Chains A and B, each alone.
Chain A
């Protein structure tokens, strides 16, 4: 260590594109630290004994160790340290809600801002990639056992990466043309460049993970057929991609879509780029219903697609918003207009069946409900109409019944989520599951944590059998 700590109360700021300029293009908003900035921020870490930051990380990255390497200027060694427990550091550094995880536990956060762990992780991963460094990978000898992973999202990729490192022959079955799951179709380019996601996936392929695209498990092959074809275990990480609608009048009008559809057209299908064939709805004024990260992503994408007005319509107040703080902040800077404590009651249409307004009602917060959040209650006679031509529903998703519905012995709960025990074992022998397929829509890093736990369990069970 350089000896003395940087006791500045605030994080070293990260350069960002100007809000006015960036709100009209899909280039990444946050530009990342320079090596100097990274080293300066790294010396803010006090290397406390308790390491609460590590306990806050769902995949247990040895945070003080990698930060020490950054402070010493040994960025590639820092990369190797992160990669011992995290397969997708360039992704996590960008999209984790650090304020609720590692950084939320940082001692420095008690007086001033916590150490910018996410920014440092991102810097290290980007530095390694830009220098063509793919890391020291210690992979065990092949053990001759095969594991099938259903779904190439964060849970599946993490499970695949960990098992490959342990010597398993791993195949990932992905329904789309490309692996990555929500990292490819959901989170926009301006927050998470797709080339970075694909490079992280390439490093998994280099480690021996086989990825099979266009394979809709439950249709082309069932989970049982995978087992019969010689896989020793199956991990299901098929996510929660089934979008919910509100069941209010007008949802069948032209100009109403789910955030999943809107974002898939833009991100996965590159709908913002005229070189690609997939069309995206062109809007003048857009209402995005919801207050999570998906709502922020859809709203900010709509601005970039050329909408003049974009509203977030959220039934609670800003304090209850589940979206990452940074994204809410960015959305405001870019000009997204917030209609909080406001709930849609009807989508209005013209004589051609196209959206021409969203009728909403004002809300106030009442008594706390069973989840502890104050329940929003409609204020009588407070209806008003938002002048919009597009309505994007971002009110959540549920697990797709495609796999549970075609696999006997796989129990689900009343929300359609797969039931697992602490080891991530489902009710079916040798079948494990994790991520949003189990929890319902949650975060990338929680899915990765689940994939990691499942890899450990699968390894224990299959080694026990040997």
Chain B
């Protein structure tokens, strides 16, 4: 059992929990994830580790309420426990030798994962620009945290209700056109957003790392459920990733495969609504 020591709602649909998991906290590095299972009847769900406290023995997870399991998770409070937590899984983010300037891009709840990246890279002394995008003002998260670890923070909303109006790709395009040089761009967020970030950087020849989010079951490389096509080859995101060279990823296939269980997921949510 793994106890929740702190819980906070970051907005209506995004929840942060800090969980006691000393062995994972001791080992985990940015880019890695865990698999959790709430209870005996629960499914195994992957979440990237958003932060960690090696001395305090805790890890922080930030998730969006997107379906039945995350809804149940969001109902737990500090003091409650979850049944299973396995990790750290996947390989930590690796930057090319000699990287000096980085642009970290977060979309929506992906900002929860982009933030520890930015913080980590900033602490290593790199020049870090961050571009974070949200649908609207109400769901902006971690703004102050990003500001504290960014050389330049660009915040945008789809509807212009806060920050610049538009998508993260608009800001990125502008920066690159103005001659801004980044050694690496790291993009974390919804699949379409990562796809378009890669399309934006490709003509400029900027190395782009994406953190993929395929469906997973075990997270240890024994089922291939999370397989993605990278550079024409099958890769398992749980052991070879979740980070990959974005210019090599088949995003359309990933989007399709992520819809495999759409019907069952919807039925599950409908069922819960009827019960309530």
Q: Which residues of A contact B (CB under 8 A)?
A: 175-177, 213-216, 219-221, 241-243, 245, 247, 251-255, 257-258, 260-261, 264-265, 269-270, 275-279, 281-282, 352-354, 397, 400-402
Q: Is the CB of A258 within 8 A of B87?
A: no
Assess the A265–B217 pair: CB atoms within 8 A: yes
Of residues 230 to 276 in B, which have CB atoms within 8 Å of A's CB atoms? 234, 239, 250, 252-253, 256-257, 259-261, 263-265, 268
Could you tell me the distance in whole angstroms from the C-beta of B71 to the nearest C-beta in chain A?
11
Q: Find out whether the CB atom of A219 lies under 8 angstroms from the CB atom of B84.
A: no
Measured in the bound complex, the distance between the Cα atoms of B217 and A261 in whole Å is: 7
Most buried by B among A176, A282, A401: A176
Interface residues of B in 197-235 (CB under 8 A from A): 217-218, 220-225, 227, 229, 234
Cα-based distance from A190 to B220 in the complex (angstroms): 26
25 A-B interface contacts by CB (under 8 A): A176-B218, A177-B84, A219-B88, A220-B24, A241-B221, A241-B223, A243-B222, A243-B223, A243-B224, A252-B234, A254-B259, A255-B260, A257-B223, A257-B224, A258-B225, A260-B223, A264-B217, A264-B218, A265-B217, A276-B43, A277-B42, A279-B43, A352-B256, A353-B253, A401-B221
Contact partners of B218 in chain A: CB under 8 A: 175-176, 264
**Residues in chain B near residue A253, CB distance under 8 A:** 256
Q: Which 4 A-B pairs have the closest CB atoms?
A: A241-B222, A261-B223, A279-B264, A353-B256
Q: Is the CB of A219 within 8 A of B224?
A: no
Q: Are B256 and A258 within 8 A (Cβ)?
A: no
Please determine whether B217 and A220 come into contact, CB atoms closer than 8 angstroms: no
Range of interface residues on B (Cβ < 8 Å): 35 or more
Partner of B222, one of A221, A242, A265: A242
Chain B residues with a Cβ under 8 A of chain A: 23-24, 27, 37, 41-44, 68-69, 83-89, 217-218, 220-225, 227, 229, 234, 239, 250, 252-253, 256-257, 259-261, 263-265, 268
Closest Cβ–Cβ distance, residue A148 to chain B (whole Å):
14
Please tell me which one of the listed residues A176, A254, A265, A275 contacts residue B41 in the complex, with CB atoms under 8 A apart.
Answer: A275
Q: How far is the CB of B47 from the nearest CB of chain A, in Å?
A: 14
Once A269-B217, A402-B220 are accepted as A-B contacts, the answer to whether A216 and B86 lie under 8 Å apart by CB is yes
> Quick one: closest A residue to B40, CB to CB?
A276
Q: Interface on chain B toward A: helix, strand, loop, or mixed SS?
A: mixed
Additional A-B contacts beyond A216-B89, A251-B234, A401-B239 (12; CB < 8 A): A213-B84, A219-B89, A220-B24, A241-B223, A245-B224, A245-B227, A254-B257, A254-B259, A265-B217, A278-B217, A352-B256, A400-B222
- A415 CB, nearest partner CB in chain B, Å: 16
- Taking CB atoms, residues of chain B closer than 8 Å to A245 are 224, 227, 234
Chain B residues whose C-beta falls within 8 Å of the C-beta of A265 in the assembled complex: 217
Within 8 Å by CB of B37, from A177, A221, A282, A353, lies A177
Cα A220 to Cα B85 in complex, Å, equals 11
Q: Max chain B CB contacts within 10 Å: which of A175, A214, A264, A269? A: A214
B261 engages A281 (CB within 8 Å): yes
CA distance A216 to B46 in the complex (A): 14
